[in-house]
């Protein structure tokens, strides 16, 4: 299960993601849609640990994905 709670990412004065929360259940196909510039890529970078959120948390099966030994 992927869980994000109140994810926010700011670059200086620009807010790319603002307080996003969601849960993705295991075994379910889930879409992640939005217009250009909506923060989809930034959010996924935070999920997999390539970018740190300004605030908020994200876990995969209860742990930070970046702390996983293998994907």
* Pairing of β 2-11 and β 14-24: antiparallel
Q: How far apart are CA 60 and CA 66, in angstroms?
A: 9
- Residue 65: what are its φ and ψ, rounded to 5°? -60, -40
pLDDT at 71 over 70: no
pLDDT at 43: 96
Domains in the chain: boundaries: 2-67
Say which residues have a Cβ less than 8 Å from residue 45's Cβ, sequence separation at least 6: 51
pLDDT at 26: 95
> pLDDT tens digits for 1-60?
999 999 999 999 999 999 999 999 999 999 999 999 999 999 999 998 899 999 999 998
pLDDT at 70 over 70: no
pLDDT at 51: 94
Pick the CATH number of 2-67 from 3.30.70.360, 3.30.720.200, 3.40.50.1820, 3.40.50.300: 3.40.50.300
């Amino acid at each position: 299960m992927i869980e994000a709670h109140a994810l926010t990412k700011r670059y200086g004065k620009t807010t790319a993601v603002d307080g996003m929360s969601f849960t993705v259940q295991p075994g379910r196909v889930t879409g992640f849609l939005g217009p250009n510039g909506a923060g989809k890529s930034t959010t996924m970078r935070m999920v997999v640990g390539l970018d740190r959120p300004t605030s908020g948390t994200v876990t995969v099966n209860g742990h930070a994905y970046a702390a996983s030994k293998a994907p």
